[in-house]
Amino acid sequence: MTQAQASIAGSQLNKLLVQVAGAQAAADLFTMIKVEDVLLAEQAGASVSRLVLAQAMNMLLFAKNLEAVPEGKRYVADKLAAGGQVVFDHGALRTVAAANTGALPQGELAFKRLLEPLGFAVADVYPLPRLKMTGRAYCHQDAPEQVAQFFVSELHVDQFSPAFQAAVNNVVSTSRDPLSAEDKALLATLSDNRELPFADAASLLPKLVGCFDVQHATPALADYHTLLQESAEMAWISTEGNAFNHATDHVADVFATADELRAKGQPIKDKVEVSASGRVRQTAFKAAQVEREFIDADGQRVSRIVPGSFYEFITRDRYTDAAGINKLDLRFDSSNAQGIFKMTAAAC
């Protein structure tokens, strides 16, 4: 066993992932995703820190996104075959700020309630006016450069037409809350103590992953078409819910990556989005096309092909801040985000 393998084997992160996902799945996650030493420093023991629990959740969510995006899964397989690993930069999800979201808290509150106890905090707020949305970047306070961020966007339903608002209500008012009272109590304990007993962490982890899913009932096809006329983003939410809209791989040169994938005939975005600072550059595969069920006018279930999730690539430069500290530019860019969001705009 190498020193790196021994470090993983003895870590609390590995113990938790083995307990929840199984030994083989845990090994596959560590092979696929680059995990920094700071995340392995906590040795297997009786309690799990919020940092380790957050990293375990992120790793499981990344794997979940790959199952939803065949192009991303193929890319990662090729990368691993070439001896590489994924550097998980961030995951993005969409929420709805509506008057009635059923049992689910409105908008970003559905995720703030779990991200904050896990150690994440809002680093910046990004207006997305063309989409009538607001984005918030949640960055981990204990290891900001080593733990993937969350870009949580919130759609402002009150800025749309009455017909659109009615269709949104039809969809999201049926939402269930994936967290039980016991889960919420564990999150409160985690918030207070910054750690949980191992058994409690293992119990909570799959429930946290389950928050990133569809919580509402099967939408009506008529409502889907109404939503699509005004917001491709809300139409996407009606079929995909709070699943990862995309997971993002931090690569050394996003332009070179895009050119290489384009040369292989992969469905890569035509343009690389560049931030105003020039330090953050992003592109992505086009969204997977997925089959989803709807309820038609006769109350029957019908299937349609619609845009699903996608896989993104990002390059971030380092810079020296005003205090003279060299750091990775972890910011996002409103223009970049709105360009990337177009990956799910097409519908069949």
Backbone angles phi, psi at 215, to 5 degrees: -110, -10
Which parts of the chain register pLDDT below 50?
347-348
Round to whole Å and give the CA distance between 199 and 206.
12
Q: Please tell me the distance from the alpha carbon of residue 173 to that of residue 211, in angstroms, as a whole number.
A: 17
Alpha-carbon distance 337 to 149, whole Å?
Answer: 14
pTM for the full predicted model: 0.95
Residues near 162 by beta carbon (within 8 Å), at least 6 away in sequence: none
DSSP assignment of 33-44: B---GGGT-SBS
Strand partners, 98: none
Digit-coded pLDDT (tens) for 250-280: 999 999 999 999 999 999 998 899 999 999 9
Residue 346: per-residue pLDDT: 54
| 343 DSSP 8-state letter | G
The counts of H helices and E strands in the chain are 13, 14
Helices of type H across the chain:
3-9, 12-21, 23-32, 50-68, 70-81, 109-115, 162-172, 181-193, 198-210, 221-230, 232-240, 254-263, 334-341
CA atoms of 72 and 310, how far apart (whole Å): 7
Q: Measuring CA to CA, how many Å separate 128 from each of 161, 209, 284, 334, 336?
A: 18, 26, 19, 6, 10
> What DSSP string describes 209-248?
HHTSS--SPPPBHHHHHHHHHH-HHHHHHHHHTTS-SEEE
> For 29-41, how does the pLDDT look when each residue is reduced to its tens digit (9 = 90+)?
999 999 999 999 9
| pLDDT value for 264 | 92
- Residue 185: predicted pLDDT: 98
| DSSP state, residue 326 | E
In angstroms, the CA 171 to CA 175 distance is 8
pLDDT at 157: 98
Question: Which strand (E) or helix (H) includes residue 297?
Answer: none
| Residue 314: strand pairing partners | 250, 282
Please state, in angstroms and rounded to a whole number, the distance separating the CA atoms of residues 218 and 225.
14
